Structure 1
Amino acid sequence: MQARNAPHRPARIRRLLGLIGSFALLATAVPAHADTTTAHCRVIPKGQPAQATAGECSFSQRQGFVSIELANGTRIELAPDEQRAGVYKDAQGRLATRQRGLGSQGQIYKLQDQTIEVRWKAPAGSPAPKAAVVFDQTLTLQGVSFHVTAVRAGSGAGSGATQVRIQPSGLAITNAAQTLAVNADVVNAEVADLDVDGSPEVYVYLRGRTPEAPGQLLAFAANNRKSLSGIYLPALGNLPELLTGYRGRDEFAVVESRLERRFPVYRAGDALEAPGGGMRQISYRLERGEASWQLVVHRVSHY
């Protein structure tokens, strides 16, 4: 009689086995030893399977939070539901779920307006990734122009080096381009004259490819409208008090005659998507140093 009744397990045991199964599924589906990995994504718009697109992408998972960056630069951020395994909310607070179907080959995420299939390896026959221009903008001030481009060659979003090229025009002596390889993505660029000397500067803002990567800046000044010189941004570690509660997610912007940098402040135990310490804002002024131009901390505020 006991053997016949064995399949009828108590509800508590059935729930425990279900949780173990969920964790086992997650462990086999995600590549080992990697928070961020290059993957192959197929994006299927809701109700329009014929409009599906596919290509390389970046997939990262940290403490349950999922981030998918597509080849066109679109980033999907999913925050886990603490009460339900495989259930998330997107950046707009809409429901998203992880679906079965790819087994150990990848994961499927069903969002409100699309479904994303994330495969750890590209399907056989997929075309090799091509170089892609991911940023292209021309900025002009005081008769000097800066053509800023960023090209990601032979890799998908979130992987490989990005070639950033700044081509000036209108300078009196040399208009040689500045080209740099960075392991980050260009977010925006601005032109300004922070020191009000009649010669403009260009500021290119970069975002790292891991959730807590520090913000980066590429900046050049037009020396008396003759040639370009680099502008140095000191590391936050030079002022240790600025690092308290810092976990990346920087934003840069020119505001009048200052370069402003702000980021969320985290308290102990805060989740990455839920900082509880407010915002810290650093205001920089531009000064000519002995060997180069420098951005110097002018004011620090917290709100």
Structure 2
Amino acid sequence: MNLKTLLSGIFLASTLFVSCSGDEEKKAEVKPVVKKIMEPFRFHKAIEVKPGLTLDIVSWGRGSNSVGGYLILRSDSTHLSYRSEAGELDGKIVDAWDMDLDTDGNPELYIQAKGEGKGSYLNMYIYEYSEGGSNQQIRFPELSSSLKEGYQGNDSVYIKEGKLMREFPVYNKNDSTGTATGDRRKVEYTLRNNSLQFKEIKEETEVEAKKP
């Protein structure tokens, strides 16, 4: 074997090695990293309200997927203050977030849970946290009788322009199969003196929109 042939072989082997290594690296990069929560815990989310103040929301339970408990861990590393709040949970936690709905400087924590089975009804657990570390639970009001008419869950909750919104489909109450009518109801929530108030938001019809 001459020198030219030997160098060609080394170059080809090096090229294949680099190519294979690159493919392996690409394959390794696309592998999703799934963070599994150990049983009996089902949900965990850490919310940094501000630097030094973090709320960890955890849910847990054994023997049932529709009921359980939740725990709020408040870590104030600035003042070395650590407190917790616990409660019974109906359904599964879908999401948790903080906001200052009443703009009083004290943030509220919102925990959104969804019941299982037909309807998947909405459950909300709300707390307001003061600067001193105390907290107060805020009751989430039930829908009025008129809003309940045709209601079977499947709620959507979102924030729009700093307001807490809730939207859900309307079902035919005379249909046992639970057929949706195609209409949707929208509800806006406001917070005053740690009391939630709500009102239905009705879209303007085309005729109303043309009125001067």
* TM-score, normalised via structure 1 length: 0.49
* Residue 213 to residue 302, structure 1, CA distance change in 2 (3 Å): farther
Paired with 1:177 and 1:240, the residues of 2 have a C-alpha distance of 36
Structure 1 residues not aligned, in runs of 5+: 1-71, 73-129
Paired with 1:209 and 1:137, the residues of 2 have a C-alpha distance of 21
Select between 262-271 and 227-236 the one with higher mean Cα deviation.
262-271
Q: CA deviation at 1:231?
A: 1.1
Which of the residues 151, 156, 161 maps onto 1:246?
151
* Residue 287 to residue 302, structure 1, CA distance change in 2 (3 Å): same
Paired with 2:118 and 2:155, the residues of 1 have a C-alpha distance of 11
Paired with 2:109 and 2:42, the residues of 1 have a C-alpha distance of 18
Q: CA deviation at 1:151?
A: 1.1
Which of the residues 111, 134, 142 maps onto 2:42?
134
User: What percent identity do the matched residue pairs reach?
Assistant: 21
Which of the residues 182, 189, 197 maps onto 2:104?
197
* Residue 299 to residue 132, structure 1, CA distance change in 2 (3 Å): same
User: Is contact 2:158–2:164 with CA below 8 Å preserved after alignment?
Assistant: yes
Q: Summarize deviations over 1:179-218 as a string: whole Å, max 9, x none.
A: 1122311111111111122221110001112313531101
1:262 corresponds to = 167
Paired with 2:184 and 2:200, the residues of 1 have a C-alpha distance of 14
* Residue 173 to residue 299, structure 1, CA distance change in 2 (3 Å): farther
Which of the residues 274, 282, 293 maps onto 2:187?
282
User: Is contact 1:173–1:226 with CA below 8 Å preserved after alignment?
Assistant: no
1:167 corresponds to = 73
Which of the residues 211, 215, 219 maps onto 2:122?
215
User: Is contact 2:90–2:113 with CA below 8 Å preserved after alignment?
Assistant: no
**Structure 2 residue 208 is matched with structure 1 residue 301:** no
1:181 corresponds to = 88
Q: Which runs of 4+ in 1 moved over 3 A?
A: 171-175
User: Is contact 1:194–1:256 with CA below 8 Å preserved after alignment?
Assistant: no
Q: CA deviation at 1:174?
A: 6.3
Structure 2 residues not aligned, in runs of 5+: 1-35, 205-212
Which of the residues 54, 59, 75 maps onto 1:145?
54
User: Is contact 2:65–2:91 with CA below 8 Å preserved after alignment?
Assistant: no
Paired with 2:187 and 2:56, the residues of 1 have a C-alpha distance of 27
* Residue 208 to residue 299, structure 1, CA distance change in 2 (3 Å): same
TM-align CA RMSD: 2.7
Q: In the TM superposition, what are the counterparts of 1:22-37 in structure 2 within 5 Å?
A: none
Paired with 2:161 and 2:155, the residues of 1 have a C-alpha distance of 19
2:208 corresponds to = none
1:3 corresponds to = none
* Residue 226 to residue 157, structure 1, CA distance change in 2 (3 Å): closer
Amino acid in the other structure paired with 1:199: N
Task: Mark the structure with the bigger radius of gyration.
Answer: 2
